[in-house]
Amino acid sequence: MIAATKMLYLYVETPLHAGVGSGLSSIDLPIQRERTTQYPMIQGSGIKGKMRAAMEGDRKKLSPEDRAIIDTLFGPPSKPADDKDNGISGSDHAGALIAGDARILLFPVRSLTGVFAYTTSHDVLNRFMRDANRGGKSLDWTIPEAKEHTVLVTGKSSVTAGNAVVLEEFSFAEDKSASAHVDNIARWIANNALPQTVEEYKYWRNKVQNSLVILPEDDFRDFVVNATEIITRISIDRATKTAAGTALWTEEHLPTDTLLYVPIYATQARKMKKEGDKEVPMMLADEILRRAAALEQSQDGYIQLGGDETVGRGIVRIHWENQNSTNNKERSE
C-alpha cells in the first residue's frame, strides 16, 4: 500500500530522446507518447532504472549495507543469487520505491518575441493538479481555459506582440482576462517545480513568470506533436570519410527547456528485519523517499535520460518538490 508520495521534476537541458524503437512515420526513431493524447512522456520503468543506475554505480564496489539499501528501494537484481551478493535474488521481494511516468507540464515553443514561450493547456494543468493533490499537495489553483484562436498570458507577458502572440507561424489573440490566475500558476511553478539554486536558475524562474502561455487544448497537442526537435544523423565510413552504406536516419527529441514531472510513491519496505519477536519493515515509506531524494545532491542535480548519451543528449536537471513550501503565496524573484 502506498504510504508516501513526492513529486520529482525534470528540466530538460539538452535534447532528450526517450525512444520506442523504429517508427512508422517519416521519423525513423520517434519518442515515447501517451496513446490517447499523444503527449510526450517517459515510461516509469526508464525513470526507475536510471535512478537505480545513478545510485548504484558499480555494484561490486558497494558495501553490503549500501547494497541492502538499494535492494530495499528498487528490489534485488533480477538474477539468481550469487555467493557475494547478500544471498538474495529478484524473486525474494519487490522494491518499495514506485516511479510513475514522466508527464509533460511545460513545452517550449518558438515565439516572435521573447525568444520562446513556455506553453501548457487546461487539460495538462488539471492533470498535474490531480496528480499533485493525490500526493497531498492540495493545490487550489483556478485553471482558466483558453478559447479557440486565443491564448491566456501573464500580466507582464514578454511574448506578446501588440495584442497577439505568435508561436511558430501561428498567431493567437491575446487574452488577459484571466492573467491573475495565470500569474498565480506561473509563480507556483517558478517557486516549486524549477530548481531553486540562487543564480543558476534565477533567469528561468523569472522567464516562466513572464512567458507562460495557456493554449487551447487542440493547439497545444498540435505543438507537442509537430514542434519537437528532429535531428538527422549519419554514420561515416572511417576509411573513405563518406556515408557508410544507407546509415542515414532521423531521431525525434524533446526540445531543451521542456519541463516534466514524475509522481514518486513509496510503500513500507518489503524487506523485513527482526525486532524482538516481530518482523518489521527495514525502512518506513518516508525514509524510502528521503533516500531517493538524496539522488539530487549525490549527482550534483543532474542525470542523463534516454539515448545518445555519448553525444550529449538527455542531460536533465532534477528537482524534488519542497515539502515545506506553501501553496499560492510563494516568494517572487
pLDDT for 31-74, tens place per residue? Answer: 999 999 999 999 999 999 999 999 888 888 888 888 888 999 99
| Together in a domain, 175 and 36 | yes
138 versus 6: the higher-pLDDT residue is 6
* Burial per residue of 27-62, b for 16 or more beta-carbon CB atoms within 10 angstroms, e otherwise: ebbbbbbeeebebbbbebebbbebbbeebbeeeeeb
Average pLDDT over residues 223-229: 95
Q: State residue 76's pLDDT score.
A: 87
Between residues 25 and 74, the one the model is more confident about = 74
Q: How far apart are the first and last CA of the chain?
A: 39
202 shares a domain with 165: yes
Nearest CA among 327, 316, 332, 276 for reference residue 9? 316
Residue 245 lies in a domain: no
Q: Is residue 112 part of a domain?
A: yes
Q: Is the pLDDT of residue 239 over 90?
A: no
Residue 185 sits in the same domain as residue 302: no
In the numeric block, which cell numbers belong to residue 72? 530495499
* pLDDT confidence of residue 325: 41
On whether both 221 and 289 belong to a single domain, the answer is no
Q: Which residues contact 312 (CB under 8 A, 6 or more apart)?
A: 14
pLDDT at 230 over 80: yes
- Within-domain flag for 257: no
Q: What's the pLDDT score for residue 289? A: 92
Written as one letter, the residue type at 121 is S
**Residue 333 counted as domain residue:** no
68 and 128 belong to one structural domain = no
In the chain, where does DSSP find H-type helix? 44-56, 64-74, 122-134, 179-188, 202-211, 217-226, 285-293, 295-298
Q: What is the mean pLDDT of residues 79-101?
A: 69
Based on the domain organization, do 69 and 147 belong to the same domain? no
Q: Give 94's contacts (C-beta < 8 A, 6+ positions apart).
A: 75, 270
Give the confidence band of 162 by pLDDT, cuts at 50, 70, 90: confident
Mean pLDDT of 125-147: 89
Residues 74 and 134 in one domain: no
User: 275 lies in a domain?
Assistant: yes
Residue where one domain finishes, among candidates 195, 227, 259: 227
pLDDT score of 23 more than 80: no
Q: Are 36 and 156 in a shared domain?
A: yes
- Asked whether residue 124 is assigned to any structural domain, the reply reads yes
Q: With beta carbons less than 8 A apart as the criterion, state whether 189 and 105 touch.
A: yes
40 close to 322: Cβ distance less than 8 angstroms: no
Q: Using one digit for the tens of pLDDT, what is the confidence trace for 183-209?
A: 999 999 999 999 988 788 999 999 999
pTM for this entry: 0.88
Residues 95 and 190 in one domain: no
Pair 77, 167 in one domain:
no
What pLDDT sits at residue 33? 95
Q: Same domain, yes or no, for 90 and 141?
A: no
Residue 25 lies in a domain: no
Tally of domains in the chain = 2
User: Residue 189: which of 106, 117, 116, 297 has the closest Cα?
Assistant: 106
pLDDT (0 to 100) of residue 332? 37
Question: Where among 200, 227, 254 does a domain terminate?
Answer: 227
Q: Residues 263-319: pLDDT tens digits? A: 999 999 887 777 766 767 778 889 999 989 998 888 889 999 998 889 899 999 999
Question: Are 159 and 117 part of one and the same domain?
Answer: yes
Q: Residue 138: inside a domain, yes or no? A: yes
| Cell numbers 528521503: residue | 290
Range of the domain at 202: 32-41+103-227
- Binned at pLDDT 50, 70 and 90, residue 84 comes out as low
Q: For residue 98, give the C-alpha cell.
A: 514506485
